[in-house]
Amino acid sequence: MKVNFEIDASPEEWRRFFGMPDVSSFHEELINQMKEKMASGEAGYDPASLMKQFMPENMQQFANLQQNFWENMFKTNNK
């Protein structure tokens, strides 16, 4: 037997359903601070510096992180 459920819910509805805290105001404050630092030209907040962590030199580290995540997820679910 195969049963499918389709749930139409926004991220905010999911957050409330699982009892997670509302961090939207905190998120907005962080984004505004980052925008201000980028606009003022503060060191480390230029686009190249912000995107450096996603560049190819760190792709292997990202791949390792992702692999560890999936391995640990399946270990937990198979117990």
Categorise residue 19: left if φ over 0, alpha if ψ from -120 to 50, beta otherwise.
Answer: left
Show the CA angle centred on residue 79, arms to residues 19 and 71, nearest 5°: 80
Closest CA to 31 of 50, 58, 48: 50
Query: What's residue 79's pLDDT?
Result: 53
Query: What's residue 28's pLDDT?
Result: 94
- The ranges assigned to domains in the chain are 22-77
Average pLDDT per consecutive 10 residues, the chain (79 residues; last block may be shorter): 93 91 91 89 79 70 83 70
pTM over 0.75: no
